[in-house]
Amino acid sequence: MKKLVQQGEVFGLVRPHIDAHTLGISSVSKLIKECGFNVIIGDAKVISAVENVKSANNLSLLIWWINNNNITRLGFSYRLNPYEGQIFFGKIYNLLKQNNQFQDQGGKLIQIYFAGLPKTCELIKKEYNNEIPVFDGSETLFETAIKLDIPKSKIPKFMFEGSKYDDVRMSFAKEIINSGHYHYLPPTKRFNYLNYGTRKDTISERIAWNQREGFPPLMRAHVGPYNPNYSEAKKEFNAWLRILAETKYLDIVSIGSSQLSQSDFGLDWGGKTNGGGVPINSEQDLLDIYDVSRPMLIRTYAGTRNIPYLARIYERTINIAWHALSFWWFNQIDGRGPYSVKKNLEEHIKTLEYIASTGKPFEPNVPHHFSFRGADDYTYVLSGYLAAKTAKKMGIQYLVLQIMLNTPKYTLGIQDLAKARALLKLVRELEDESFKVFLQPRAGLEYFSPDLEKAKIQLAAVTAMMDDIEPNNPLSPDIIHVVSYCEAVQLATPQYINESIQITTNAIFEYRKQKKDGLLDNVLNNEEVIIRTNDLINEIKTIIQIIEKNIPDPYSADGLFTIFKKGVMPVPYLWEGREEFADAVKWETGLFNGGIKVLDKNGKPISPSSRISKIFGL
């Protein structure tokens, strides 16, 4: 019989080291804390121990961690291969049982939970006769809390009430998908300018032509099959590119390169694990990709080692549409690269200098990475602004402003909209004759349901929100990063990518039409969105003033490092480097009124500007 969580119980959340997907753990942690219970997330030592839990030392470390933290509810996450996930979970569960760690054996554990891909959840439900609560990512806030055995009396009101804005968009989206009209939407025949598809083609020219002709936003998608056989993976990827180029729904292809491609390009990989994604290890690989992808524009991940060098290679091989850098991320603290945070920032500043010399745009791949580590909404906006102003200082002429919505996925739509509008307004204030901003919204990484029909509806609904960022600007957004609706279940093949673009394009057309006909509110004058947006803008402006007065040269590698190290931007769910960045991880954040805020010991929001003032002793 299930036991509801009692006051004083502690949840422990853990994953194996090889699974880099941490966003779900962060989101669930926020939810549990919002309900008034304590959460401990396994650190780097614990997740490494889980990886090889059969080792006596590793098992002892896991058991010590459980008992030392008085953990009574253990959540295990694994979002890679379903059958491997079933085996991983079985090892942990059975070893804990064999060592009498459950309450009915005299131990502390009352319940163990599993979160992963739908197939893994099915396998575990079947193997353990539904005794293990499983989470496949489709659960609402309320459903998640109930599955975690949290008493209904402890669940905050907003978790089951939702918001009118979200309900209206979902209702609109259901109509779009149920009608099925998107299936018949042909690709937009929009280009015939001189440089189209050639080595002289640029994203700025493509956007200018697209807007002059009044076409819908350019469509970008992440593309990349997974195959452990390097040679076969390259062949399959190039075959996908040919299909996408011929069908002409996709305008910009983002290469889903592997982790090894980013960290060890041009080196002898030997027996190193590719880590998923397209293996790219030579200039010839990139030239082949360019040839088969005509006339699409191409972009890809920055390197995590020798970053300026790889940026130059991207220019001369794939004529990269724009470069993306993550400043504080993709290094030692997130396990994605070899550099320290300081070294990473120095390399990124050098790379910005090179990008500026090419005249190509730059995309700050920054704000959502803070959200992944538990940062509040003010940090989301602040980090994006800091990156944009640094880029302008370094001579960047065009900025591709990516705004990831639904991050975390439990954020209310009106708060998502406020974050997007606040960041865009602040960055647009930097615009002048030498600095231009292109808006590129996208759905969140963990947003989509594994139920594919529901995911289609979610895609149409989030597209509607993208149009509400600048509802009175028919040319906005410039680009949409289309996240394929199938991605909670499987990699997006060309068929899924094209269908997702059809849904997105149809949703944009129909949403604009219904707003024009007065059937839907364009939320331009929505009072709650305005209040939230103005609060974000005013607080960030105050914080920027404090930073610029108290940190020498804040828009440099040294300045950006100091801002992070001082704890201006809290990251309570940082996995590694917690000692070095103790002032950044010490803050508690949580869901509050549908958004994420820094909270005091009583769960009340702390004013961002007053918190920053105290950091600088003001």
Q: Is the pLDDT of residue 235 over 70?
A: yes
From the CB of residue 444, how many other CB atoms can be counted at a distance below 10 Å? 21
Question: What backbone torsions phi and psi does residue 459 show, to the nearest 5 degrees?
Answer: -65, -45
pLDDT tens-digit map of 455-465: 999 999 999 99
CB count, 10 Å around CB of 189?
8
Q: Tell me, what amino acid is at 590?
A: G
pLDDT confidence tier of residue 164, bands split at 50, 70 and 90: confident
Assess whether pLDDT exceeds 80 at residue 157. no
Name the nearest CA neighbour of 610 among 595, 598, 594, 596.
598
Q: Is the pLDDT of residue 502 over 60?
A: yes
Q: Are 424 and 439 in contact (CB under 8 A)?
A: yes
Q: Given a cut of 60, is residue 18 above it in pLDDT?
A: no
How far is the CA of 229 from the CAs of 20, 100, 222, 234, 323, in angstroms? 21, 42, 20, 9, 28
pLDDT score, position 16: 73
Please name the amino acid found at residue 36.
G
CA 573 to CA 379: how far, in whole Å?
14
- Select the more confidently predicted residue: 325 or 269: 325
Q: Which two tokens stand for residue 144?
A: 């998640």
**372-400: average pLDDT:** 97
**Could you write out the three-class secondary structure of 231-284?**
HHHHHHHHHHHHHHHHHCCCCEEEECECHHHHHCCCCCCCCCCCCCCECCCCHH
CA 531 and chain centroid, separation: 26
Judge whether 157 and 219 are in contact, CB under 8 Å: no
Q: What pLDDT shows up at residue 410? A: 80
Characterise 567 by phi-psi region: left (phi > 0), alpha (psi -120 to 50), beta (else). Answer: left
Q: How much is the average pLDDT of 346-363? A: 98
Tokens of 525: 């004058």
**Which residue, among 254, 434, 280, 247, has the nearest Cα to 359 in the 3D structure?**
434
User: What's the whole-number mean pLDDT along residues 7-29?
Assistant: 75
Same fold, 10-158 and 165-516: no
Residue 245: alpha-carbon gap to chain centroid: 27
Beta-carbon contacts of 193 under 8 Å, excluding residues fewer than 6 positions away, are: 205, 209
Is the per-residue pLDDT at 321 higher than 90?
yes
pLDDT computed for residue 23 by the predictor: 54
Q: What pLDDT sits at residue 335?
A: 84
Type of residue found at 121: C
Eight-class DSSP state of 485:
T
Q: Any idea where the domains of the chain sit in the sequence?
A: 10-158, 165-516, 538-615
CATH of 165-516, one of 3.20.20.440, 3.40.50.620, 3.30.413.10, 3.30.2130.10: 3.20.20.440
d(CA 401, CA 160): 33
The one-letter code for the residue type at 197 is G
pLDDT beyond 70 at 466 = yes
107-121, 128-142, 343-357, 564-578 — which is least confidently predicted?
Answer: 128-142
pLDDT the model gives residue 87: 87
Residue 551 has pLDDT above 90, yes or no: yes
Looking at the structure, give the CATH architecture of the domain made up of residues 10-158: 3-Layer(aba) Sandwich (3.40)
The predicted pLDDT at position 277 comes to 82
Give the residue among 311, 384, 345 at the shortest CA–CA distance from 556.
345
Q: What per-residue confidence (pLDDT) applies to 275?
A: 65
Segment 369-381 mean pLDDT: 95
73 conformational bin, left if phi > 0, alpha if psi -120 to 50, beta if neither: beta
**Are 220 and 254 within 8 A, CB to CB?**
yes
Confidence of residue 535 (pLDDT cuts 50, 70, 90): very high
Q: How far is CA 344 from CA 49, 233, 258, 466, 557, in A?
A: 28, 30, 19, 32, 9
Q: Quote the pLDDT of residue 14.
A: 86
The pLDDT assigned to 82 comes to 83
pLDDT tens column, 292-317: 999 999 999 999 999 999 999 999 99
Contact between 377 and 597 under an 8 Å Cβ cutoff? The reply is: yes
Over range 135-148, report the average pLDDT: 85
What's the CA gap between 301 and 310, in Å, rounded? 10
Summary mean pLDDT of the chain: 91
pLDDT bracket for residue 161 (50, 70, 90)? low
Quick one: pLDDT band at residue 542, thresholds 50, 70, 90?
very high
Mean pLDDT lowest for which of 8-22, 105-119, 186-200?
Answer: 8-22
Neighbour count for residue 233 (Cβ, 10 Å): 21
The answer to whether 303 and 334 are in contact (CB under 8 A) is no
Output the pLDDT for position 273.
72
More confident residue, 233 or 429: 429
Please report which confidence band the pLDDT of residue 522 belongs to, taking 50, 70 and 90 as the band edges. Answer: confident
In tens, the pLDDT along 388-416 reads: 999 999 999 999 999 999 998 888 899 99
Q: What is the pLDDT of residue 562?
A: 98
Pick from 285, 294, 219: nearest CA to 257: 285
Question: In whole angstroms, how large is the CA radius of gyration of the chain?
Answer: 24
Low-confidence winner among 224-233, 448-457, 576-585 (lowest mean pLDDT): 224-233
With a cut of 60, say whether residue 22 has pLDDT above it: no
DSSP 3-state of 7? coil
Q: Does 545 score more than 60 pLDDT?
A: yes
What six digits make up the tokens of 46?
A: 């614990």
Entry pTM: 0.84
Find the range with the poorest average confidence among 133-147, 357-371, 573-587, 596-610. 133-147
pLDDT digits (tens, 9 = 90+) for 63-112: 999 999 999 999 988 877 788 888 888 888 999 999 999 999 999 999 99
Name the packing angle between helices 56-68 and 44-51 (round to 10°).
Answer: 140
Half-sphere exposure in the Cβ direction for 409 (13 Å, CA): 24
Task: For residue 31, name the pLDDT band (cuts at 50, 70, 90).
Answer: confident
How many other CB atoms are there within 10 angstroms of residue 103's CB atom?
Answer: 12
Beta carbons of 341 and 386 less than 8 angstroms apart: no
Residue located via tokens 């009352």: 110
Paired residues of 401 in beta bridges: 439
Other beta carbons within 10 Å of 512: 17
Confidence class of residue 615 from pLDDT cuts 50, 70 and 90? very high
